[in-house]
A and B are shown apart, each in its own frame.
Chain A
Amino acid sequence: MKFKHYDPGDFYDELFMAAGQPRPDAIPLIDRIDSLSIEDIRQRQQAAQIALFKMGVTFNVYGDDRGTERIFPFDIIPRIVSATEWEVLEKGLKQRIYAINLFLADLYNQQLILKDGIIPEEIIYSASSFLKPCLGLQPPAGIWCHITGTDLVRDRDGQWYVLEDNMRCPSGVSYVLENRRVMKSTFPVVFNTMKIQPVEEYPSHLLETLLNLAPPQLIDPTVVVLTPGIYNSAYFEHSYLAQQMGVELVEGRDLVVSDGYLKMRTTKGLQRVDVVYRRIDDDFIDPTIFRSDSLLGVPGLMEVYRSGRVAIANALGTGVADDKVVYAYVPAMIRYYLKEDPILANVPTYLCWEPSQQSHVLANLDKLVVKAAGESGGYGMLIGPHATPEQRQDFAQRIQATPRNYIAQPTLALSRVPTLFDNHFEGCHVDLRPYILYGKEIYVNPGGLTRVALKRGSLVVNSSQGGGSKDTWVVCK
């Protein structure tokens, strides 16, 4: 009865086929919720939030000098993904990551893809995330993108699209693990009856992925997680992952290059570090090579890295694949390297540096989403249909001034999931970020972070812009 008045509306709803008709996999959940009073549901939601807050599952808000932490708002209605659907996503993600990895290895070495004219050279060389110091780099096992958090969205017709690849330092996996822990105590009964694929193996897989990069002759290699420190917005996650894997969490000031190796300062002197899972952007990692004002990195690290005496995940330079213009070429990469058709589609993307596409973009600014090629996290973006004429005018000028820096995509009607508001449920737009690890083989954690836009009607799911999260239940076959 809680869902009697719930209307999926003119959107793809992840739990309902139509009003009053839950999807087959969602029936046990919907039945259970219907059997509870609204007060009970609200209490469970509150208990879940309190549990997360007490565990300190928080993120920091930038621009607040007291380092205020907030809990990432959590909604207790999970998103459910069917087994058959997940199978396709998993295959598609593996294919995509495999191809992007080949691309990165090629790009920083032979550059066949440029020579064969698949991607225009000037696109690469004008990308600020393309790192010349990485040319010729041969990371251990030929792996560049060890950890990826691909953003997927679904349009009105239920079609999945890849929105972003996030090859640098995708965050959020700690919420996946903690949300699941909390959900198990929120809906234990439903959870038991529904056979949901476990996400808890992620830290073990992550550790294996990192150990895979250490020189094989080392019996007990030292793996560390490198964090910018406690004021970083994702600090909780850095600390959480180090704890779950049982490895050291280090800051730049704990590390030093000495005798050609990377070492950490311990109470018993310097100790060698073999593998670094870095949660610091490329630009900050070594002030002698990149940003000289960086206090977060380690002077001289790049040289140790190039000589192969330390492994870094993700490899430096992977960020070039996150450039939104380069992103547009991923389907072409899949065809070029794998001779296969892409299983997962890109969101159709207009490249403003191509004159014909630019004029289309300018003529349709009220229908499109415009994004800055080098930005992420919902920054530097125009949602045409919701923007004012002045904002559109502003973006039109920016596009014409630096067309290379802008792409445009149609405004997708993101799928929705019922979400608790005061004493009823409303559909809210969601995306999905599964986490993929590239170790000895490629592993896709079953589920991922479902981010939800909690402002009514909003399409922006980023935590910095008022988004929240939900648990993601992938049903077993």
Chain B
Amino acid sequence: MLSRVADSIYWLNRYVERAENVARFIDVNEYLLLDSPMGLAQQWEPLVLTTGDLPLFRDRYGETTAKGVIHFLTFDEKSPNSILSCLNMARENARSIREIISSEMWQEVNEFYLMVQEAARAPDSVVLAEFFTDIKRASHRFAGVMDATMTHNEGWQFGQIGRFLERADKTARILDVKYFILLPSVRDVGTTLDELQWMALLKSASAYEMYRKQGQHRITPQEVAEFLLLNMEFPRSVRHCLLRAERSLHHITGTPLGSWRTPVERAMGRLRSDLDYITIDDIVQRGLHEFLDDLQSQMNHIDSTIFETFFALEVAS
């Protein structure tokens, strides 16, 4: 398949998934702050800090206020990771590969895009909670339609890699948000408030019910982090996402799992097996935030090796 096409389908899926996760991201933050006695404006800063957009945000908005950050992440066309920008990019990628994806997929992206465009025209009349629910649904619809209507060929596998890498990255970031929220209130650790916050976090990753169902029911920070990072079967956990991405990658290359021929197989396999054998105690001992930071930089490395291996073909002339 054309390198450009593979690139587009990869990013189409990444952007749709990103829009969904930005919605989850803001949702959890708002929820956490509602219960927080502090309720401080600075609690919004981590949201733009973790995406690396803080300098751009400061340029455009100055102080980090709730209203500013939410606008920046939802309807600001100049902000590259806003929901609006994600949908613009998703649709642009979809348009450039319309003949590759199914018509049903195109329609889903197009309607998703039109829905966000419409909301962006009158942002003040948007009820955010409902809007975020719509975003999540539209993203799930897209994933479902893609699964059900497109041949599970090379292009589809590239799409899967895009979706799962993006999801792994964002689950890690959602966990990081809690870390920042927690910082000014260490004394709250272990209190009811703390438990409420971890519950909110689970909910934002649609993980609350599934967490409760898996044998142990009590909510402890360690167990929640373990669930979101290391659970093998929960579809938003980082480990699960990496397993799925790795499987798709090996589908494309034909290399048997557990071995590698390209730098990307090596990078992906290495990170995935790290997660297979690490324990939550190891992670906590190293520091959760440091671990998440490192995880993200390894995933960025995987993304750039994908680009080099499949998309940026050098031609000897």
Contact = CB atoms under 8 A, between A and B. Distances in A.
Given A55-B107, A250-B2, A258 B252 contact: no
A267 interface: yes
B99 A267 contact: no
Nearest to B3: A265
B111 interface: yes
B1 interface: yes
A87 interface: no
A353 B158 CA distance: 59
B4 A235 contact: no
B6 A56 contact: no
A248 to B, nearest CB: 6
Contact of B3 (A55, A235, A249, A266): A266
Contacts of A83: none
Given A54-B110, A256-B315, A267-B252, A235 B95 contact: yes
A254 B2 contact: yes
Nearest to B311: A267
B3 A242 contact: no
Contacts of A239: 95-96, 98-99
A258 B313 contact: no
Nearest to A271: B2
Contacts of A240: 98-99
Contact of B111 (A54, A258, A270): A54
A364 interface: no
B103 interface: yes
A250 B97 CA distance: 10
Contacts of B5: 248
A23 to B, nearest CB: 37
B119 to A, nearest CB: 18
Nearest to A269: B313
Contacts of B311: 267
Contact of A55 (B92, B103, B154, B310): B103
A251 B4 contact: yes
B75 interface: no
Contacts of A250: 2
Contacts of A270: 313, 315
B51 interface: no
Interface in A355-388: none
A440 interface: no
B315 A249 contact: no
A264 interface: yes
B106 interface: yes
Contact of A230 (B95, B99, B106): B95
Contact of B99 (A54, A249, A258, A266): A249
B192 interface: no
Interface string B1-39: 111111000000000000000000000000000000000
A229 B96 contact: yes
Interface in A221-261: 229-230, 235, 239-240, 242-243, 248-251, 253-254, 256, 258
Nearest to A239: B98
B76 to A, nearest CB: 15
B73 to A, nearest CB: 21
A267 B154 contact: yes
Specify the main secondary structure of chain B where it touches its partner.
Answer: helix
A251 B3 CA distance: 11
Contacts of B98: 56, 239-240, 243
B110 A265 contact: no
Given A56-B110, A267-B310, A254 B3 contact: yes
Interface residues of A, number: 24
Interface in A254-305: 254, 256, 258, 264-267, 269-270
Contacts of A235: 95
A456 to B, nearest CB: 31
A243 B1 contact: no
Interface in B287-317: 310-311, 313, 315-317
Contact of B2 (A56, A230, A265): A265
B2 A266 contact: yes
A221 to B, nearest CB: 17
A446 B310 CA distance: 44
Contacts of B6: 267
Contacts of A256: 315
Contacts of B111: 54
Most interface-central of B1, B4, B100 (chain A CB within 10 A):
B4
Contacts of B252: 267
Interface string B82-115: 0000000000100111111001001100110000
Nearest to A299: B317
A267 B309 CA distance: 8
B315 A265 contact: yes
Contacts of A229: 96
Select the residue from A54, A248, A265 with max chain B CB neighbours within 10 A. Answer: A265
A248 B311 CA distance: 16
A267 B1 contact: yes
Contacts of B310: 267
Nearest to B102: A243
Given A254-B4, A265-B3, A242 B103 contact: no
Contacts of A253: 4
A258 B315 CA distance: 8
Contacts of B97: 249
Contacts of B154: 267
B102 to A, nearest CB: 10
Interface string A310-335: 00000000000000000000000000
Interface in A163-182: none
Given A54-B107, A54-B111, A256-B315, A264 B95 contact: no
Contacts of A251: 4
Nearest to A235: B95
Given A243-B98, A248-B5, A266-B1, 13 more contacts: A54-B110, A56-B95, A56-B98, A229-B96, A230-B96, A240-B98, A243-B99, A243-B100, A254-B4, A258-B316, A267-B158, A267-B252, A267-B311
Give 8 closest A-B pairs by Cβ, nearest first: A243-B99, A242-B99, A239-B98, A265-B313, A267-B310, A265-B3, A267-B6, A239-B99
7 contacts: A56-B95, A56-B110, A239-B95, A240-B99, A249-B100, A265-B313, A266-B3
Interface of A: 54-56, 229-230, 235, 239-240, 242-243, 248-251, 253-254, 256, 258, 264-267, 269-270
